[in-house]
Each structure stands twice: as C-alpha cells, then as structure tokens.
Chain A
C-alpha cells in the first residue's frame, strides 16, 4: 500500500509518533541519571559548607573525596534546627539538618514564618576547635543567592564565608563568590555588647577596615551587594539569639 506522505493524516501521525518516541527516550534517560545528579548536588553542598570554614583547594578536597572529608569535619549529629525565634526545634523524625532545603523554603510564599527551618551545622577543624556553620539564602538582582557563614568557637567572630549565586551579572554581581569579596567578611563580629549587630554593605570605601561591620560592596553590583546584606542580616539575627542564649 502506497502511503501518501504529504497527506494531513500522515503528517499528523508522523509528528505525534516522533514526539512520543523522543519523549519516552528522554523521560527514561532523565530518571535513569537522577541518582547521579542528586549525588552531584549533595556533594556540591558539602563542598560549599566546607569552603566556608577552610580553603578547600589547599586542603586537597575535591568532588572525589568530598563525602569522606565532610564527615571528618562536620558532625551532622550535632547539627540543630532552629525556628525563626532562634529556639531549637524538635527534629521531625528522619529529617536531618543537611537535607533541609532552605532555598525551597525561602521561595515558598505560602510557608508561614514560624514553620521555616534554620539549620545550624557544627564542625570541628583540624585543631579540634568548634566551628559553627550557618546557611543563608536570599535574592540577588536576577535570581537566588545563597551561601554559608562560618563562626569561630566564640560564636561571634566570622572565620569565613562562601557565597554563591545562580544568575548574577558576570563581572558585576557575580563577583560575590570571588575571594576578594568573601575575604572582606573575615574576622568581623556578629555581636556587639551581647546583641546582634547589623552588617552594612557600603559604597564609600569605608568598609576597608577589616573586622568591623562595614563591608565594601561591589562596584556596579549594588543590588546584588544589597541582597547579600539583607540575606546575612535577616538570617544572622535569628542565629544570634540562639548563640546568646547558649552562651548565658
């Protein structure tokens, strides 16, 4: 039987058949690769957390050994989950602090403030000093920005930060994940006279003094810099309450 391949029936049939076949192939592939992709996301998170407390590159930590190294430093059983008032939440069964997706909670407009989770990771560095690692998430100019802030054993001094972004402008806002910007946060204190002190991201170069609460923003990346400021202040305020209660 000769098929008229220019007929409408054949054209529609061909289009539908091709779409179905390709759809099935892609769906199978996507599901099949899901475990690998999930693992990559997990390892990236571990690397981000570690890079807040140490120079990951210098320590020779790569994707290959991230999982082992992460367990060596970060004690997930010591991690706690706070609520928005800074009190420790009773952990729901089977929910570990590591698995809480604060980015998703931040995006979720329907989630009430009191239901949001604020995980705090506790780690030990090489010299057995305690390190507290706080995840932060906020808005940049184009999309989400996030990061981790590591405090020293005094629960006050910033040891280091690691910021990341999804789609900030290259060369401008995207610079928040560059060492020159992240180093500016080092040795600053989150509390003054026992209460939380806000950070200020400034434009007038007055942030040049290391260790105070003024941080030089990024030229041409004002909205992203302000986004970092908002993100850090909003989150640290909650944790500061927790640290204050813990110390007293």
Chain B
C-alpha cells in the first residue's frame, strides 16, 4: 500500500478489492472466523441483525478513519489503548443514539451494542490496516469488512427468523400460528422450529455457510 500516489483514482482496482475481498474470499466471519459471539447472539430477528450490522459498520468505518488520521501521531507504546478509546467512544455514541431513537431495538440488543467494543473484527482492522494506511483506503477497508460481517449476520438471521418464528422482519410469512386461529402452513400442521431460536443453531448455520463457501472455492481450505 506504500506505493500510493496523489493521482490514484478513488476507486482504483486496488481500492475496489478492499471492499469486495471481505465480502467473498476474505470474509471476516466465515474465513477469519472473527466476531462470532455477536453473530450468535443477535441473529434471532432480521431487524436486530440489520441494526447491529449498521452499528458495526458505523463503528468500523469511523474507527478506521480516525485511527488512520492519527496514525502518525499515535505513540506506539499506547496504540492499543488509543484504538480502544476510539472504538469505545464510537460505541457509546451508537448506544446513545439507539436509546434515543430506536428504544425497543435498543433494549433488545441490550449489552450486545456495548460488546461491539470487544468485536475482534474492529480491533483487528484498526491494528492491521488503519495504523498503516491512508484515510481513504481505511474507510473502504472498514466498509468492506463491515459489509462482510453484516452480510453473514443477515443471512443467518433470515434462516433463523424464517424457520424459528415463521416471520421476516416481523412480517408473517407462513400464516398465523396462534392456537385456534391457525392459517396458511400452520393450518396444515406446520410447526415453528424452536431449535432455530436457540444460540447453537446460529453456530450450525454459520458452519454451513463456511462449508458451502469452501466447497465452492477449494483454495480457501486450509491444509494442516
């Protein structure tokens, strides 16, 4: 990345790769297996997953930008602390804004917004990328990784909400499951799968995504 010149176009091939790589062959969740904790916790509903993804997206882009701007000033002995400070402040901002404008979702996400601070993806990108790169590529890197994380979150949430509660974003898909007034699939004897609501199912679905991805691209399989 050190060969950058002032005249480099904003969306050069290299910069585009910063966004597309984490979405596919270098996905932070399925390839690097980072940020799994939150992926398990808040993927019961698509709504929650979307808000969580946007929160992480905001924190990682802003965090990357700020750390990248300060990268030549940050004393190396306290760089991790400085990164933590920046991330923690951004997370508090997100938490406060959610509490003020999306109170219901905020209470559902509860501690998990606060736990964005400990999301390895964010600290990983700050330390590995933003500390060594210019602001613009850092923003793109944050965008790519945030989207990569969000994409997996939302895919898992779609499966879990659809088969666990029979809804998508709260909208009933399979009909009305209430006893006595069943309609749609429920009238034919269909039942929601409670297993889907439980955390282990998120792990299994993530595992299946990893399996599918690696069987399509054999180069991703690690050799031991």
Whether both chains belong to one complex is answered with yes
A33 contacts B97, C-beta separation under 8 Å? yes
A11 adjacent to B100 (CB under 8 Å): no
B89 and A26 within 8 A (CB) = yes
Q: Chain A binding site: helix, strand, loop or mixed by DSSP?
A: helix
Chain B 74-126 interface residues, beta-carbon cutoff 8 Å to A: 74-78, 81-82, 85-86, 89, 92-93, 96-97, 99-101, 103-104
B77 contacts A40, C-beta separation under 8 Å: no
Q: Which chain A residues lie closer than 8 Å to B74 at the CB level?
A: 14
Whether A14 lies near B96 (C-beta < 8 A) is no
Interface residues of A in 52-94 (CB under 8 A from B): 63
Residue among B85, B93, B99, B104 making CB contact with A18, cutoff 8 Å? B85
Question: In the complex, which residues of chain A have a beta carbon less than 8 angstroms from the beta carbon of B212?
Answer: none
Number of interface residues of B (CB under 8 A): 20
Residues of A within 8 A of B81 (CB): 15
Contact with B along A111-126 (1 / 0, CB 8 A): 0000000000000000
Contacting pair B93 A14 (CB below 8 A): no
A6 and B78: CB pair below 8 A? no
Contact with B along A24-41 (1 / 0, CB 8 A): 011001100100110010
Answer whether residue B73 sits at the interface, using C-beta atoms and an 8 A cutoff.
yes
A33 — nearest CB in chain B belongs to which residue? B100
Partner of B78 from A15, A33, A36 at Cβ < 8 Å:
A15
Task: Collect the chain B residues with CB atoms within 8 Å of residue A22's CB.
Answer: 85-86, 89
Asked if residues B78 and A63 are in contact (CB atoms below 8 Å), the reply is no
Contact call B73/A36, Cβ cutoff below 8 A: no
Residues of chain A within 8 A of B100, CB atoms compared: 33, 36-37, 40
Q: Identify the B interface with A (CB < 8 A).
A: 73-78, 81-82, 85-86, 89, 92-93, 96-97, 99-101, 103-104
